[in-house]
Each structure stands twice: as structure tokens, then as C-alpha cells.
A and B are shown apart, each in its own frame.
Chain A
Amino acid sequence: MFDLNPWTLLTIVAMGVVTVITRGFFLISSKPWTLPHWAQRGLQYAPIAALSAVVIPEIVMTQGQLIHTWQDARLFAAAAGVAWFVWQRGVLGTIVAGMLVYLPLKIGLGW
């Protein structure tokens, strides 16, 4: 439980450095510099694209394959979550509604 492999520790510290560098990449330099105009316009589409790129595969793929069945708890849970959001506009409710659909299908029916 309290094993600490020195090589693993080095890896963890180096990964922490990677986090700092990537999250702060364009914050490092203090020289005046602004993004080109097209990039500034493009950035308004980046947040939703990033979320969608992370979320969609988690809903429609299993082990690297697009799922071939509609009997998957994630599909119904995601639909319930989005439906809740359209109706009530709350993120917390989206999570709760989605999980209320997800858990019975997943644990009860094994989908």
C-alpha cells in the first residue's frame, strides 16, 4: 500500500511538469503578443468542440468500437440528461436525471 517505486515517483513529478507546461503554455512569455484575429474568432468554437470530443466517444463507443446496439444505458442516460437541460437549464439536474436513468439500466438490466 505504501510502496513507492523511485521510477514511478520520477514519472509522476515529470507528469506534473507536463500539466504546468500545457495548462500554462501561452502564459509563460511576458512579451507583448496577441493571437491573430482568425484565431481569436476560432476560439469561441473551441470550448464546446473540446467537450464534445471528450464526451461523444464516451457515449457511443465501447473499447474503441462504435456500439452496434441501442441497448446501452449510456444512450438513454445522455438523452435524459440533455432533455432535462433543455427543459430546466440546470447542470446538476442533468447529472441527476442521467444517473437516474443510467443506474437502473446498467445494474438492473446489465445494459
Chain B
Amino acid sequence: MFYLREHRQRAEFREGVRDQATVAMGIAAWGLMTGVAMVKSGLSALEALLMTLIVYAGSAQLAAVPMIAAGAPLWVILAAAFCVNLRFMVFSAHLRPYLMHLPRWQRLVSGYVTGDLSYVFFARRFPKPGQTPQELARQQAYLMGNCAVNYVAWMLSSVVGVLLANAIPTAWGLGFAGILALLGVLSSLASSPLRIVSAGVAGAAAVAAWALPLKLNILVAIASAVAICLIIESRASGGDAPGGRHV
């Protein structure tokens, strides 16, 4: 946890902070626009602040706010939030071997604070889970350094966005800075030909399946990209590919 001294004292914590700092500006621009959007879509400032502090999932918040304003039934809103967040379940399956040495509540707090970019940076930095308690502790410190920057940049900028909602023109499209941050990280992940295939398939599938409700197009895109890459991989190596080689 980033509030634990034993993590903050490690060099890997500072490394995580440095890595995530490269995208902090994009996250902050995105958080700002999310704060603005929540208020402009009809939440009171207090409700928007509570949502930022409790939910901590920008895309789910943006999906839910118009539904709340329109008086949609609770279960529909929760189903939408769940579907928008489904990709995080994929991430948690990946993170499990890295985090199982922790007690359950620490695992859940770690999962809760790990957003898209923190997960991606972590998976890029540590392709394999540590084999010793020391290694696992260093990996955890990196993840928490990463998450700390993400959390602070997101929360501060969202609060500013909520408070200045009527002074910031949405027409400037500052939220696009967040997309550019994701695009930069996407580029940094494109380290093997199959990963580029994965990005291409997922992007095309997400556009083609856009009409699906509840942002399910994202899940369809991930599933089809992974499936196609696994098929190509097994064809290329006669069905005997070593695991995790390109990670």
C-alpha cells in the first residue's frame, strides 16, 4: 500500500513514481474533464466529489452519471458500471500471482487502486511474478509507487474539475489529453509483431461492436484480439509455444 512505509522506502517505489509521472499530465487532464462532466450532467458538487472519492473508476463514472440524472433503475446503472469495469477482472487474474502473498484485505486494496495505466506499467515492468518474498515485495513497492501517482493526480484534478465545472469550457476537449496518454502507453507496449496485431484487432473490433450496450464492445475487442493472437502463436510454433516469451 502506498501509505505503508515499508513500500515507500524501497527504490522500486520511486521507480514506479517516476514511470507513472510520465503520464500524470494526461491523467490529470482526463480527471479534470471527468469532474467537469459529472457536474454538467446533473450531479451536485457534493455528489460528484463523493463519486470521485468512492468509485475511483473514470469510465464507469462517465457511463453512470447520465443514467443517474435520467432516473435509471439502480440495477441497470450497476450492470453498466460492472460491464465497463469488466476489463479489470482480466487484470486481476493477471495480478493474482503477484499479490497472493498479501493478506486478503491488502490484495483487495491493491486491486482497488490499480487503474488501467498502473496495471499496464506494472505488467510491462515485471513480466513474471517474483520467485522470492524479496522480489515480490519489490514488485509490490513498484506497483504502489505507480498507483500513488495515479491516485493523487486523478483525485486532485477531479476535485478541481468539480469545483471549476462552470469555468472550464468543455469545447476545448482537454479530455483528449487522457486519450493521448493511453495512446503513448499503447505505443510503448507494441514490442512484438503479435502485440501490434492484438492492438489492431482490438481497435477494429471495438469500433465494429460499438453498438453493443454497456460498453461490452471493449470486452468483445479484448477477447477477439487475445483469441486471434493465441491462434496465430500456436500456428507459428506448431502448437507448442513457450509461455510468456514476448511479455
Contact = CB atoms under 8 A, between A and B. Distances in A.
Interface of A: 1-5, 7-16, 18-28, 30, 34-35, 37-61, 64, 66, 73-74, 77-78, 81-82, 85-86, 89-96, 98-99, 102-103, 106-107
Contact of B78 (A1, A14, A64, A99): A14
Contact of B59 (A48, A54, A107): A54
A4 B44 contact: yes
B156 interface: no
A103 B172 contact: yes
Contacts of A89: 188
Contacts of B124: 47
Interface string B12-48: 0000000000110110010000000000000111110
A43 B217 contact: no
Given A19-B55, A52-B199, A77 B226 contact: no
B74 A10 contact: yes
Chain B interface, DSSP helix/strand/loop, else mixed: helix
A86 B187 contact: yes
A8 B89 CA distance: 25
A30 B199 CA distance: 33
A58 B207 CA distance: 9
Given A27-B99, A48-B202, A90-B22, A43 B181 contact: no
B216 to A, nearest CB: 11
A75 to B, nearest CB: 12
Given A52-B199, A55-B203, A1 B44 contact: yes
Interface residues of B, number: 100
A93 to B, nearest CB: 8
Nearest to A64: B210
Contacts of B182: 51, 54-55
B198 A45 contact: yes
A3 B47 contact: yes
Central interface residue in A14, A46, A99, by most chain B CB within 10 Å:
A46
Contacts of A99: 176-177, 180
B218 interface: yes
A50 B201 CA distance: 11
A47 B119 contact: yes
A23 B172 contact: no
Central interface residue in A9, A12, A99, by most chain B CB within 10 Å:
A12
B230 interface: yes
B185 interface: yes
B144 interface: no
Nearest to B207: A57
Given A18-B78, A53-B202, A53-B203, A41 B46 contact: no
Contacts of A96: 25
B179 A58 contact: yes
Interface in B70-113: 74, 77-78, 81-82, 85-97, 99-100, 104, 107-108, 110-112
A98 B218 contact: no
B135 interface: no
Contacts of B123: 47
